[in-house]
A and B are shown apart, each in its own frame.
Chain A
Amino acid sequence: MQPESSPAPAAGGQPGVPAGAADAKLTVDKFADGDIACLRFAGAIDESFEGKKLAGTVKAATLILDLGGVKKISSFGIREWVDFVTAVGKLVQKIVLIECTPKVVDQLNMVANFAGGGRVFSFYAPFRCDYCDSEHRVLLQVDRDHEAIKSMKLPERSCPSCKESMYFDEDGATFFSYLLGQEKFELEPEIVHFLSTKLNYAVSDVARKLRVDKLIEGRATFVRLGGDLDQSFPKDKLAEGLEGTVIFDVGGVGRIEPAGAAQWRGFVQMVSPLVSELFIIGATPPFVEKLCNKDDLGAKAQVLSINLPFQCKTCATSGSQLVDVAEHYDMLKLATAPDLKCVHCKNALTCAASEALMTTLPGLPMPTATAEQRKLIKELRERKPEKKKVATTVADAAQTQKSSWWLPFAAAFVAVGLAGGAFLGYRALTAKGATAAGLGKKLSASATARPAWITADVPGGAYCKDMPDQSLACVGVSSTAVAQDDALDEANDAALESIANSVAGKVEDKKWRAALPPIWQSTRQAKLAAFDREPNNTQARREVRDARRAVARLLAKTSAGAVPAAPSGKYWEEYESGDGKRYLAFVEYTVRGADVARMAKSYAENSTALGAAVVDVFPSLGWRYPNIGGGAVVMAVADGRLKTRGITEGYIMLEVRGRAVPNAATFAKIASEEMTQLELVGGTLELKVQSGDTEPRSFQDTIAKKGGDVVPPTNTGGRNNGGNNSGTGTPNTGNVNVWDRVGGGKGPSRDDPNQ
């Protein structure tokens, strides 16, 4: 059992070995049970960690990563780790991170994809006691401690060493920044069960409570026990009316407390005269050690199966295997584990049972269950218990699901509202009397008075104004930030993003207006709406910030100097809020009228290549595609090479044969150059294209040498080998080898989810 508050683990400890060297080696223990696997990491994650290799060994639907023993992570270790979570994320359905050490929490806060697609369930917060100069760590769970995490403050606690108070030794805003962006969630009951009963983790008090499910089938009574066997075991109630064959499935029993063991023994004694047989199945090692000696079993109880711990040295996995006592009785009688094979690699397993457990085995009586009884037991064991009888988190989970019935409707409602095409503006942009109310007491500011260009101060807002001299003045307001620096950055990006938005509104080309804004508008509206609804939600705020940052970056790259490099004004205010100091910043950019007009015109200017008319990538596309650094957006496609391959309006051309496409004109130039070259020597025209909400994809087209030999197509994906793509140049395909094609060229078989 992991203590809730534990002294920070000591480093080193081996004589003659420096402290850091001793804990340098990384060990990874694997535990598996059915579809759930757990990897327990201990030591330093550094260049010696082989992430992808480890990922390849995981075979489970749910993967739990126990990071409670991680002491160091080097920069190279971070790369390996990200490779690991990325690779493993493709193999499993769910990843849960538990017992993350402060070191891991630091990385979660700093490295964007450190958790992969996983969710953090529990983590250690560092505490320090100045009285006795000791360091401790306290385990927090995202469900149980949600409010504390949200407040970014942890109350002082009693020091386990000296009983004086110890304090949280981190900056809350920094330490909880990743966790605040994560939705609150509860572990699924099967994961709770796995962690609490198989691995003895303290994940849920509820999960530890003893649960009893009873099924009656004819003269057989099947009782399933789960949780800790303690004083609460209802021996009298359970014994009432028992008769015939009684089967106890004790595979879910966790800890066995002395009082619980006494209750069980009393129960066995009480029912022995009443029942014809008492079969015990799935006995766990503690159960066998504590409750399966001859006296405990009495005259009627028999153990039919045991969960014995085994290790596969090839897969380096530990897990329990259900051993049939009757089948392996001759081996067990000699205190020897049976020979079992790993279900994954088929190599021999090694029993990891303790000496105490093995010496108990010879005392087990030979089971006498008939084949018919075994069949019945198997059937009853597989039958699911009725939910209403289960007073566990299963019920809670069910309740949660029920109470969430309205969510799809709410989502649909929002979607309808947004799809109406109404422009969702920034929050209360020009609302009269809009103030930064609720920020607390103003402590200082970068100037004695607010500059006149600030006309609204709703945190997170932005607004533009056409000035009398035709220039465009846009102001961005930060949300309330812990650091002045962050606030200024945020305001800066908000101002730049609003310039892009204003310029989009000034583009007169009807085709452009019909083709481009729809690509980003719904994403922009959805992100702003989420932020508007919950301005304090870190995730919503981060999404808007990141998108604005992407738009600002694209604007700088594509505006050809029309937008000034430096703002025309900036200003900040410092407030004392209940949560400490907060900053509100304002940044103003002024763009000359001629430059605004130039941008509005140049973004809509077409270039033509490969039968497509393309325009420059517009900065607001950063809302939807934050990672693109340039490109050419397809406005229209005439019949020809691109159209045949399925490239259509709205697609963004990113690369031509590995050459980056910064804008439309360059696309036309390099596409033309590459085609000329290919027509001379033959080869493959490869285009990297962004569309929809997927990763950028490659489209390939084999170009035959003009008037000469045909170059066979190179098939990269391995998915398009059928049909006419054999490189023989049939008229239907023109030697086409389309990357995502399925079905061998019969009709429009392009595997494009956006079509």
Chain B
Amino acid sequence: MQVVILERNKLVARRAARHFASIGATCTLVEDPAALAPALPGAALLCSDAFDGDLIVELLRNRPGLRGLLWTAEPIKRSLRHMQDCPAISHVLARKDFESPPRPWELLMAARRILLGDGAPPFTAYLDWGAQIISLAVSTTADRDRAVGNVQEFIARLQAPKRVGEMFGELAHELLMNAMYDAPVDATGHPMYAADRKAEITLSAAQQPTVLLGTDGTKLALQVRDPFGRLQRNHVVGGLLRGLSGGEMDQSHGGAGLGMMVCHNSAAAMFFDVMRGRATEVTAVFELDQNLREFRTSAKSLHFFAS
């Protein structure tokens, strides 16, 4: 497994390479973009800062087996455009600044899954050992509202700022609305409840989403899983891009991306795992040590896995 890393900061490159090496990959570190192309033959993954995204997209375009991974200390919009232009890029990892590598656990998780083909990790993988996790059952509209309340209550008990609780409450509401109203389809593949999101519904046991909420005291993670596996990559990338491009209410091409925007604005990292036709898992991670002011201005991660 050959990984090529284009990174001008040597220290960042070495640290990232160490994570890849830990799972048995060999890394080629490149500082000069001009030297990138010759290093690519035989490579399985190409990593770089989103600043060089145009070049990465160009290089990936003609190399079908090669996948891309971007990291960035900037807002995600530019990276999203690269994701939209290039299906080989499905991962953007946030980093604090240009002198910091991405979060180690996130880089390692992405590396394992991309290079070793590991499936979706258990929910505990997003948190440190010993984390407290609760599960919420949701089958009716009233359950949804109760679950949103429970999420806020759970966060309030951590003595986290109330606004964090409200933010995660909104996130839970968005994810549940998608899992309950958009995901379910009948035997012919037709959406069952998407036409009227105001309707009170009751989902059968086979249709019910599951909600997991957990914390290890430094991270907060929320996961909503539906048993349908219908989420499209374009819905995530295109939707978020539309939402972040000024939020014009153009709903003619699959929504204005407002839901995706709410998700993006509420989490430090979002993981979309689609097991086609079987399940969709959306996991949001928030770092509790970061205050909201820092959170607003820091970069966010986005991962899309499909199997």
Contacts and interface: CB of A to CB of B under 8 A. Distances in A.
Interface stretch (B100-108, B115-123, B159-167, B228-236): B159-167
A74 B153 contact: no
Contacts of A444: 98
A566 B150 contact: no
B249 A485 contact: no
Contacts of A489: 77-78
B148 A20 contact: yes
Contacts of A446: 51
A446 B291 CA distance: 29
Interface stretch (A107-115, A684-692, A724-732): A107-115
A78 interface: yes
Contacts of A169: 161, 163, 291-293
For A19, A110, A483, which residue has the most chain B Cβ atoms within 10 angstroms? A19
Interface in B202-261: 243-244, 246-249, 251, 256, 258-259, 261
Contact of A72 (B170, B198, B249): B170
A419 interface: no
A475 interface: no
Contacts of A483: 74-75
Contacts of B150: 18, 20
Q: Is the interface of A mostly helix, strand, loop or mixed?
A: mixed
A72 B296 contact: no
Interface string A633-658: 00000000000000000000000000
A425 interface: no
Contacts of A76: 177, 197, 258-259
B169 interface: yes
A71 interface: yes
B251 A79 contact: yes
A20 B247 CA distance: 26
Contacts, number: 140
Contact of B296 (A75, A174, A565, A566): A174
Contacts of A48: 198
A112 B247 CA distance: 5
Interface in B260-303: 261-262, 265, 291-293, 296-297
Contacts of A484: 51, 74
A162 B185 CA distance: 54
Contact of A20 (B77, B151, B198): B151
Given A20-B148, A72-B173, A486-B75, A171 B296 contact: yes
A566 B152 contact: no
Interface residues of B, number: 52
Contacts of B173: 46, 72, 74
B239 to A, nearest CB: 10
A12 to B, nearest CB: 7
B178 to A, nearest CB: 9
A18 B248 contact: no
A18 B148 CA distance: 8
Contacts of B197: 47, 76
A529 B146 CA distance: 54
B259 A75 contact: yes
Interface string A74-103: 111011001000000000000000000011
B170 A74 contact: yes
A19 B262 CA distance: 20
Given A74-B170, A79-B256, A171-B297, A110 B247 contact: yes
B58 A74 contact: no
A11 B198 contact: no
Contacts of A24: 145, 148-149
A639 to B, nearest CB: 37
B25 interface: no
A199 interface: no
A414 interface: no
A20 B149 contact: yes
A110 B259 CA distance: 12
Contacts of A71: 166
A133 interface: yes
Interface of A: 8, 11-12, 17-22, 24, 46-48, 71-76, 78-79, 82, 102-103, 106, 110-114, 126, 128, 133, 135, 168-171, 174-175, 444, 446, 483-486, 488-489, 546, 565-567
> What 7 pairs between A and B have smallest CB-CB spacing?
A18-B149, A21-B149, A75-B258, A20-B149, A111-B247, A75-B259, A485-B74
Given A21-B146, A489-B77, 5 more contacts: A12-B153, A110-B244, A110-B265, A170-B292, A175-B296
